[in-house]
């Protein structure tokens, strides 16, 4: 979400502090989604303060059969930076979806979107990421 | 339209299909995935999408986490997992169906046990005769106007039926008609109708023990109920007497006093 480890840690600690404070006032977070929801908003606030990605329309392409091999060439940090540069709510949608931690219902609650909107956000992100992959990590037939 | 054809909504759902299998996946999502996998056109695209998603998810899992944060997550109770409430589980159609089926089975079982508990020798025949009472019309009986107790001699003299005696509790009631007929199960049955409460009496041979041929006895008054009719039954000298009327057991209780239920 932030694309920066130090900022992520800062957000994490702030969320934990808030949870501890609520627990001290006999109002502990009611469920686990509270942590993610709180962290999400803090990430968005932190991201607004730093260097902003250029706004513009990214072209998308069909998912390639060799996409998994292309992704295999990436470093995790590259993916983190790519996702953190996406506009919200697409950024939050991609982060929540690829964490592979939530059910659909939980994701819809967390992101406050409908299933159709989430589907559009994730699928367009997927196509754009494929286009970016094709540009940065081209695949050649002899790699297969 | 093919049953495997994907609707727009299902196409949207397949685009956000779970990357790994999760235990509580929504039913509509499961159907959408199944249909996407079954159709040749969508199956390939869906397979590419899943491979893509798995690769990205694996990369996400590989994002380094600082030791400080990792230490927090070693405590498994840091973030409470939402447990499935019993209310939600009870609303599950499968659970509801099982509960309903169990309730019906339990009901049938309890009914069977209760019937068994109230059974006595001759109760089956008594119930059958209640249905006879329900279907009997007045013109099927020979008109006889006398006290019910006086018919014992009539049955003996005319039909050679011994001990076909109406008990003292009902002997004083005025009769309207009577008849004697043969029944496959009950044998020779004497049927009497009385004016009071359109009551009917039945006299028939008691069940006999297969080993020694002696009548199977029971003490006092017993009750049977069948299709809105109730009967009070007593056995004396190898003959069963049943007084019955359209109603319930409580309608007969005043006649037999403190009879055994």
Considering B3-7, B212-216, B223-227, the range whose residues carry the highest mean pLDDT is: B223-227
- Position B241 scores a pLDDT of 93
- Position B105 scores a pLDDT of 94
Residues A44, A68 within the same domain: no
* Per-residue confidence band for A48, with pLDDT thresholds at 50, 70 and 90: confident
- What's the whole-number average pLDDT of chain B? 84
Number of domains in chain B: 3
- Position B76 scores a pLDDT of 52
pLDDT digits 0-9 by tens, A58-103: 778 888 888 888 888 888 888 888 888 888 888 889 988 998 888 8
In a domain, B261, yes or no: no
pTM for this model (two decimals): 0.53
Cβ separation A104–B18 shorter than 8 A: yes
Residues B227, B130 within the same domain: yes
- Position B240 scores a pLDDT of 92
* Per-residue confidence band for B138, with pLDDT thresholds at 50, 70 and 90: confident
Q: Which residue of A has its CA nearest to B57?
A: A98
- Decide if pLDDT at A52 tops 50: yes
* DSSP 8-class letter at B148: G
Residues of A at the B interface, defined by Cβ within 8 angstroms: 5, 9, 12, 16, 31-32, 35, 62-65, 67-68, 71-72, 74, 76-77, 79-80, 97-100, 103-105, 107, 115-116, 118-120, 122-123, 126, 129-130
Question: What residues of A are in contact with residue B30 (Cβ under 8 Å)?
Answer: none
Cβ separation B63–A76 shorter than 8 A: yes
Size of interface A-B (CB pairs under 8 A): 98
Residue of A4, A66, A76 to mutate, testing the B interface (most B Cβ within 10 Å of its Cβ): A76
Tell me, yes or no, if B15 comes closer than 8 A to chain A by beta carbon.
yes
B17, B41, B40: which is closest to B28 by C-alpha? Answer: B17
Residues B113, B194 within the same domain: no
* ipTM of the complex as predicted: 0.83
- Position B258 scores a pLDDT of 44
Q: Which of B117, B143, B176 is the last residue of a domain?
A: B117
Mean pLDDT of B116-143: 87
Question: How far is it, in rounded angstroms, from Cα B146 to Cα B109?
Answer: 46
- Position A11 scores a pLDDT of 82
Q: Which residue segment(s) compose the domain that A28 sits in?
A: 1-52
Question: What residues of B are in contact with residue A104 (Cβ under 8 Å)?
Answer: 13, 16, 18, 25-26, 29
Mean pLDDT of B98-123: 87
Question: How far is it, in rounded angstroms, from Cα A119 to Cα B104?
Answer: 44
Question: What residues of A are in contact with residue B72 (Cβ under 8 Å)?
Answer: 12, 16
Tell me, yes or no, if B41 comes closer than 8 A to chain A by beta carbon.
no
Reply yes or no: is the peptide bond before residue B111 cis, omega within 30 of 0: no
Residues B159, B140 within the same domain: yes
Mean pLDDT of A40-68: 77
The 3-state DSSP class for residue B149 equals helix
Cβ separation B72–A16 shorter than 8 A: yes
User: With pLDDT > 90 as the criterion, what percentage of chain B qualifies?
Assistant: 21
In a domain, B103, yes or no: yes
In a domain, B3, yes or no: no
- Decide if pLDDT at B77 tops 70: no
Residues B67, B96 within the same domain: no
Residues B179, B196 within the same domain: yes
Residues B132, B200 within the same domain: yes
Q: Which residue of A has its CA nearest to B78?
A: A32
- Position B202 scores a pLDDT of 94
- Decide if pLDDT at B199 tops 50: yes
Mean pLDDT of B25-30: 84
User: What phi, psi does A74 have (nearest 5°)?
Assistant: -85, 160
The CATH number of residue A117's host domain is: 1.10.10
Matching residue, tokens 């230490």: B71
Question: What residues of B are in contact with residue A43 (Cβ under 8 Å)?
Answer: none
- Position A51 scores a pLDDT of 63
Cβ separation A104–B16 shorter than 8 A: yes
* Per-residue confidence band for A57, with pLDDT thresholds at 50, 70 and 90: low
- Decide if pLDDT at B81 tops 70: no
- Position A47 scores a pLDDT of 76
Q: Which residue segment(s) compose the domain that B155 sits in?
A: 121-256
Comparing CB atoms, the residue among A35, A68, A97 nearest residue B16 is A97
Task: Convert A89-108 to b/e letters by CB count within 10 Å (16 or more is b).
Answer: bbbbbbbbbbebbbbbebbb
Question: How far is it, in rounded angstroms, from Cα A87 to Cα A50?
Answer: 14
Q: What residues contact residue B33 under an 8 Å CB cut-off, 6+ apart?
A: B13, B14, B17, B46
Number of domains in chain A: 2
- Decide if pLDDT at B191 tops 90: yes
């Amino acid at each position: 979400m932030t694309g920066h480890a130090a900022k992520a840690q800062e957000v994490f600690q702030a969320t934990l502090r808030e949870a501890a404070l609520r627990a001290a006032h006999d109002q502990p977070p009611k469920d686990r989604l509270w942590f993610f929801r709180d962290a999400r908003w803090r990430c968005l606030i932190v991201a607004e303060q730093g260097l902003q990605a250029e706004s513009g329309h990214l072209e998308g392409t069909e998912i390639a059969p060799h996409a998994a091999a292309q992704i295999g060439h990436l470093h995790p940090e590259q993916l983190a930076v790519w996702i953190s540069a996406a506009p919200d709510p697409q950024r939050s949608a991609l982060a929540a979806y690829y964490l592979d931690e939530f059910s659909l219902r939980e994701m819809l609650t967390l992101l406050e979107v409908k299933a159709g909107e989430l589907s559009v956000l994730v699928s367009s992100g997927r196509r754009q990421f494929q286009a970016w992959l094709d540009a940065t990590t081209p695949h050649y037939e002899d790699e297969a | 339209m093919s049953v495997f054809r994907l609707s727009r909504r299902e196409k949207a759902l397949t685009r956000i299909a779970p990357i790994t299998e999760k235990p509580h996946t929504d039913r509509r999502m499961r159907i959408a995935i199944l249909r996407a996998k079954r159709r040749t056109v969508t199956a390939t695209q869906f397979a590419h999408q899943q491979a893509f998603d798995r690769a990205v998810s694996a990369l996400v899992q590989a994002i380094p986490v600082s030791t400080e944060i990792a230490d927090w997550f070693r405590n498994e109770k840091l973030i409470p997992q939402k447990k499935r409430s019993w209310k939600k589980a009870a609303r599950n159609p499968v659970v509801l169906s099982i509960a309903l089926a169990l309730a019906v089975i339990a009901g049938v079982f309890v009914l069977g046990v209760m019937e068994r508990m109230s059974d006595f020798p001759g109760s089956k025949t008594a119930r059958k005769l209640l249905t006879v009472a329900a279907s009997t019309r007045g013109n099927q009986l020979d008109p006889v106007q006398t006290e019910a107790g006086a018919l014992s001699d009539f049955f003996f003299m005319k039909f050679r039926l011994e001990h076909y005696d109406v008990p003292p509790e009902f002997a004083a009631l005025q009769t309207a008609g009577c008849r004697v007929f043969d029944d496959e199960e009950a044998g020779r049955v004497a049927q009497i109708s009385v004016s009071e409460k359109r009551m009917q009496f039945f006299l028939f041979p008691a069940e006999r023990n297969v080993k020694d041929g002696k009548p199977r006895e029971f003490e006092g008054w017993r009750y049977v109920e069948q299709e809105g009719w109730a009967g009070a039954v007593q056995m004396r000298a190898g003959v069963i007497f049943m007084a019955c009327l359209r109603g319930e057991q409580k309608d007969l209780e005043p006649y037999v006093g403190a009879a055994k239920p």
